[in-house]
Amino acid sequence: MCSRPGAGGAERMGAMVPLAPPAPAGLPRRAFLAASAGLALLAAGCTAGSSDTTAVSTEEADRLAEQVAVQEAVVAAYAAATTADPALALSDLAAQAGEQLDRLRAAAPSATASPAASAVPSPAASSSAPPAVPTGGDVRTWLRGQVAGAAAAHAAACARQTGARAALLGSVAAGLRGHEAALA
């Protein structure tokens, strides 16, 4: 056993449990996988035959499509920042932003993919497209602001979703909070 330095006797007694199990018991892997396969409505646990539930789920799906547009803007921001200042070495973060976008698209059946998904936002994302990188400005700070805005938008949307969609949006929001920290 790896005992904690200075740990009290009570902590060394009795049944020991793993400090951090690999995943919470009963983690709904099936639901997340279903969402990734574009079956978000099914994964959200809609009650079959319930028109109310179906209506709510359709609304939630539309909201998730809005977040796809937000994420497309993040991907575009990374591409613009890399072009403006290649020395920033953003490849890892940009790849993760793309991974987040892929997961959101897979979970949002109503979202339409843009033709050049990795670099150019779709028309639906035009309102969320980032402004141009400020000429002569601090690209890193600008990018951090774009990421922060998207994280806040995803977090707000998360609170209005349920089930697997809420979990996905919350995770993406948290991932972007991590990007903010890395860009600080």
Partner 1 sequence: MADDGVLDEGTETAALQEVLAAEHAAVWGYGTVGAALPLDAREPAVAGEVAHRDVRDRLVALLESRGADPVTREPGYTLPFPVLSAVDAAALAVVLEEGVSAAWVRLLDQATEPAVRELAVGELGAAEVRAVGWRTAAGRTPVTDALPGLPQA
Q: Tokens 């976008």 sit at which residue?
A: 101
148 is a contact residue toward partner 1 (CB under 8 A): no
* Of 66-74, 114-122, 127-135, 159-167: span binding partner 1 (CB under 8 A): 159-167
Q: Is 114 helix (H, G, I), strand (E, B) or coil?
A: coil
C-beta separation of 158 from 169 below 8 A? yes
Token pair listed for 155: 């977090």
Q: What is the smallest separation between the CB atom of 164 and partner 1, expressed in angstroms? A: 6
State the Cα–Cα distance between residues 68 and 7, nearest whole angstrom. Answer: 47
Q: For residue 14, is it left (φ>0), alpha (ψ between -120 and 50) or beta?
A: left
For partner 1, the closer of residues 18 and 86 by Cβ is 18
From 108, 111, 92, 117, select the one nearest 175 (Cα to Cα).
92
Residues 92-131 that bind partner 1 (CB under 8 A): 92-93, 96-97, 99-100, 103
Residues 128-147 that bind partner 1 (CB under 8 A): none
Q: What is the smallest separation between the CB atom of 136 and partner 1, expressed in angstroms? A: 28
Binding letters toward partner 1, positions 4-43, x by CB under 8 A = xxxx--xxxxxxxxxxxx-xxxxxxx-xxx--x-------
State the Cα–Cα distance between residues 128 and 105, nearest whole angstrom. Answer: 16
Residues 61-90 that bind partner 1 (CB under 8 A): none
C-beta separation of 138 from 112 below 8 A? no
175 is a contact residue toward partner 1 (CB under 8 A): yes
172 is a contact residue toward partner 1 (CB under 8 A): yes
Report the length, in residues, of the chain: 184
161 is a contact residue toward partner 1 (CB under 8 A): yes
Contacts with partner 1 by CB under 8 A lie at: 1-7, 10-21, 23-29, 31-33, 36, 44-47, 92-93, 96-97, 99-100, 103, 151, 155, 158-164, 166-175, 177-182
